Amino acid sequence: GEQVEQLPSSLIVQEGASVLINCSYTDSASVYFPWYKQEPGKRLQFIIDIRSNMERKQTQRLTLLFDKKTKHLSLHITATQPGDSAIYFCSGTNAYKVIFGKGTHLHVLP
Determine if 22 is a binding residue for another protein (CB under 8 A). no
Residue 78 near residue 61, CB atoms below 8 Å: yes
Determine if 42 is a binding residue for another protein (CB under 8 A). yes
Residue 12 near residue 107, CB atoms below 8 Å: yes
Determine if 45 is a binding residue for another protein (CB under 8 A). yes
Closest distance between another protein and the C-beta of residue 36, in Å?
Answer: 8
Closest distance between another protein and the C-beta of residue 78, in Å?
Answer: 23
Closest distance between another protein and the C-beta of residue 13, in Å?
Answer: 21
Site for another protein in 60-89 (CB under 8 A): 89
Distances in Å between the Cα of 18 and the Cα atoms of 7, 41, 59 are: 15, 24, 15
Burial 93-110 (b: 16+ CB within 10 A, else e): beeeeebebebbebebee
Exactly one of 28, 98, 107, 109 binds another protein (CB under 8 A); that residue is: 98
Exactly one of 19, 75, 88, 101 binds another protein (CB under 8 A); that residue is: 101
